[in-house]
Structure 1
Amino acid sequence: MSTSVVSAVVVVLAVAGFLLAVVALSLAVVAARRSARTAGLRARDPRVELPTDVAGLRAEVAALRAENADALRHLAVVRYDAFGDMGGHLSWSLALVDDGGDGVLLTSIHGRSDARTYAKAVTGWTCEQQLSPEEAEALAGARP
């Protein structure tokens, strides 16, 4: 392998790693804020007690599910070769959606000399832009 190809692969992997790190950091910040908000509410208000009966626990679980319904917690990654003359499955599509199917599709297309990254908004499990077969597969894989 020539050094230019190796350099290109390293750059693509670095960009992909950076994008995944940004997504992970964003999700961690959202989760930390929600956790702190819920924990802070219970810590500040002594009147809020966790229920001990089954009906109360079910109500608490239902409230937690409703609170987390908009969390981007469903994801799927599809790796593929975007071009027939290249191997290694360096291109990928990532779907990050909440329970209602709202979220984002991230796609990175790896070529010989460059890599391009695209983001598409997803609302209700559909997208205004046309999806590639790989993006549609990622979105279907994220669906619970």
Structure 2
Amino acid sequence: MRLYPSTTIEWKVGPPSLPAGAKMAVLEGDPTKEGPFVMRLQAPDGYHILPHTHPKTERVTVISGTMFLATGENLDRSAAKALPAGTYGLWPAGMKHTAWFEGGTVIQIHGTGPWQINYVNPVDDPRNAKKSP
């Protein structure tokens, strides 16, 4: 048996596929490899992940704070759904969506690896940002 009290979770800098500012903690499995995984994402107030998709289904639980989700390839705040703490959602593979967070927010993601994020507009992908010399 493994237990993960919130006070013992080891947060690390989020992956390069996400905008700077997020932290991540892997609770089970390895999201970079084939197979099941569970990870948490900690996002600061105002954090945005611009329109993107995932090649595999994601299952998301909002642990604390509020996540906002808008579907489609363009950000439409008026069509967004507020997902307060306790909300569970299933994002089908290939669903175009944008997420942003109010208040410090923690979400838990269950999925099958490898976990990937593909931005609708490549210019929004942090991995494509020009590095300063």
TM-score category of the 2 structures, normalised to the smaller one:
under 0.3
Report which of the two has the higher share of helix: 1
**Relative contact order (alpha carbons < 8 A, sep ≥ 6): 1 or 2 greater?**
2
TM-score by length of 2: 0.23
Larger Rg: 1
Higher strand share: 2
TM-score (norm: length of structure 1): 0.22
